[in-house]
């Protein structure tokens, strides 16, 4: 018994040390330095349907990552400033996760924008997540010349921050109907179809606001408002597809491991789409279903594919699971905690490098008409990627 107690104490001590040890996110691979700023926007045209208090206008927190001139220096933008630190696991269990104050990102705080006009990328997180947890992907895309607007869906995220204060999820924003395994059965399907419309409207509103930034202020003349791509993870991927369907300015959409919802499933898309799936996912429409939920995901994906006329790019990534598309892949996580999260065997940094590389290739194709062999041919740098 004494040996067990001693071993447990040693493990807790080790976890505490790792909790405090700095972790540096993967470095952006593009030619630009990366700037970051944040804004709170209110959509006065919409009454928020998922706010706990009736009659409120929809309010959103948006993080902007953007190209800065190469070689720019300045203060680093903190990973999770102020009340955003509440994204960290609370209490004693938080010792099992890297302290967010020790996470080193690469964006610089409110530095000047690089010369040129940059296409807009609207990024939406998965249900419960917030955009700071996708910093690795956002920074890399910005370094390649894209203005990335990450929008956290208020009342659906476990935490967002508006006007400096923490705001948590509501029953309407994160419905209990999603607690089941089959998201396309009964009440879950209905809830998903309703909520994806709210998220799609969030994304389109954000795109419009970013376009407005190009007319005055720090971003004047730097926004290519005629080219917008929507990107999302999990439920955010479903919202990205629906937003592209609803926005005539949209040039393409990318879905990271998200089963699809909304009218777009049956009407399809006439613009290019990219879908990246974890190894145990059926959201590409190609898998060996192991459950009723898998069969539902597969059938939904196939319905969308059959209805779509735009070019499609689909990939399955061996060793990646659902959380590997987020910054969770980069944190230290103690073994007992890691075992409870959807993280695969792939090296976390490498999995995010794969994600960023394929997203960049897709964006260069749809925004600049630059076909990249990476989209259609195997690449020895990424043997984990299966082209479907």
Residue 10 has pLDDT above 80, yes or no: no
Average pLDDT over the chain, rounded to whole? 94
Residue 1 has pLDDT above 80, yes or no: no
Work out the end-to-end distance of the chain between its first and last CA atoms, rounded to an integer number of angstroms.
Answer: 53
Question: Residue 16: what pLDDT?
Answer: 63
Segment 255-297, tens digit of pLDDT:
999 999 999 999 999 999 999 999 999 999 999 999 999 999 9
Question: Residue 15: what pLDDT?
Answer: 58
**Mean pLDDT computed over 350-358:** 98
Question: Residue 376: what pLDDT?
Answer: 97
Number of other CB atoms surrounding residue 105 within 10 Å = 23
Question: Residue 20: what pLDDT?
Answer: 79
Question: Residue 13: what pLDDT?
Answer: 56
Segment 135-184, tens digit of pLDDT:
999 999 999 999 999 999 999 999 999 999 999 999 999 999 999 889 99
Number of other CB atoms surrounding residue 165 within 10 Å = 9
> Order of strands across the sheet with 147-152?
108-109, 33-47, 57-68, 147-152, 118-124, 223-233, 250-256, 273-278, 312-317, 385-387
**Mean pLDDT computed over 28-50:** 98
- CA 255 from centre of chain: 9
d(CA 345, CA 318): 9
d(CA 237, CA 233): 5
- Record the tokens describing residue 85, joined without a space: 């630190």
pLDDT bracket for residue 14 (50, 70, 90)? low
**Mean pLDDT computed over 233-243:** 98
Model pTM score:
0.95
Cα torsion at 256, 26, 133, 111 (round to 10°)?
A: -110
Question: Residue 9: what pLDDT?
Answer: 40
| Phi, psi (degrees; rounded to nearest 5) at 74 | 160, 180
Burial of 355 (0-12, 13-18, 19+ CB in 10 A): buried
- Record the tokens describing residue 194, joined without a space: 């309703």
Question: Residue 12: what pLDDT?
Answer: 52
d(CA 244, CA 366): 13
Torsion over CA: 376, 258, 37, 328 (sign) = negative
User: What angle do helix axes 235-246 and 186-213 make, rounded to 10 degrees?
Assistant: 60
Q: How far is CA 350 from CA 31, 115, 208, in A?
A: 20, 31, 34
| Phi, psi (degrees; rounded to nearest 5) at 271 | -120, 160
d(CA 299, CA 306): 10
Torsion over CA: 237, 224, 58, 140 (sign) = positive
Q: Encode the chain in three state secondary structure.
A: CHHHHHHHHHHHHHHHHHHHCCEECCCCCCCCEEEEEEEEEEEEEEECCCCCCCCCEEEEEEEEEEEECCCCCCCECCCCCHHHHHHCCCHHHHHHECCHHHEECCCEECCCCCCCCEEEEEEECCCCCCHHHHHHHHHHHHHCCCEEEEEECCCCCCEEEECCEEEECCCCCCCHHHHCCCCCCHHHHHHHHHHHHHHHHHHHHHHHHHHHHCCCHHHCCCEEEEEEEEEEECHHHHHHHHHHHHCCCEEEEEEECCCCCCCHHHHCCCCCEEEEEECCCCCCCCCCCCCHHHHHHHHHHHHHHHHCCCCEEEEEECCCCHHHHCHHHCCCECHHHHCCCCCCCCCHHHHHHHHHHHHHHHHHHHHHCCCCHHHCCCCCCCCCEEEC
**Mean pLDDT computed over 40-47:** 98
Q: Which residues contact 381 (CB under 8 A, 6 or more apart)?
A: 357
Q: Pairing mode, if any, of strands 108-109 and 33-47? A: parallel
| Phi, psi (degrees; rounded to nearest 5) at 340 | -90, -5
């Amino acid at each position: 018994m004494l040996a067990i107690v001693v071993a447990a104490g040693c493990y807790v001590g080790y976890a505490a040390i790792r909790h405090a040890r700095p972790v540096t996110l993967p470095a952006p691979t593009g030619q630009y330095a990366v700037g970051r700023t944040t804004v709170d926007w209110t959509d006065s045209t919409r009454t928020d349907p998922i706010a706990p208090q009736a009659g409120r206008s929809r309010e959103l927190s948006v993080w902007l990552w953007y190209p800065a001139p190469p070689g720019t220096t300045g203060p680093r933008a903190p990973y999770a400033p102020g009340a955003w630190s509440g994204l960290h696991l609370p209490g004693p269990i938080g010792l099992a996760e890297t302290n967010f104050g020790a996470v080193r990102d690469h964006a610089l705080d409110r530095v000047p924008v690089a010369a040129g006009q940059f296409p807009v990328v609207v990024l939406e997180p998965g249900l419960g997540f917030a955009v700071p947890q996708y910093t690795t992907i956002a920074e890399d895309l910005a370094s390649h010349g894209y203005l990335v607007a990450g929008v956290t869906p208020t009342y659906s995220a476990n935490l967002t921050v508006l006007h400096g204060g923490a705001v948590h999820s509501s029953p309407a924003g994160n419905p209990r109907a999603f607690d089941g395994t089959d998201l396309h059965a009964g009440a879950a399907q209905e809830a998903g179809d309703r909520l994806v419309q709210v998220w799609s409207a969030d994304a389109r509103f954000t795109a419009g606001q970013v376009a407005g930034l190009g007319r005055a202020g720090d971003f004047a003349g730097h926004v290519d408002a005629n080219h917008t791509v929507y990107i999302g993870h999990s439920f955010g991927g479903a919202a990205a597809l629906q937003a592209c369907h609803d926005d005539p300015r949209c040039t393409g959409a990318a879905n990271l491991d998200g089963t699809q919802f909304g009218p777009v499933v049956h009407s399809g898309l006439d613009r290019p789409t990219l879908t990246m799936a974890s190894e145990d996912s059926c959201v590409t429409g190609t898998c060996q279903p192991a459950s009723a939920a898998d069969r539902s995901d597969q059938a939904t994906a196939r319905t969308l594919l059959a209805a779509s006329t735009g070019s499609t790019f689909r990939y399955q990534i061996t060793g990646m699971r659902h959380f590997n598309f987020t910054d969770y892949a980069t944190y230290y996580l103690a073994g007992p905690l890691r075992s409870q999260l959807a993280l695969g065997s792939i090296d976390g940094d490498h999995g995010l490098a794969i994600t960023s590389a394929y997203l960049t290739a897709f964006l260069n194709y749809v925004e600049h008409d630059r076909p990249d062999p990476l989209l259609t041919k195997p690449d020895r740098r990424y043997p984990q990627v299966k082209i479907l």
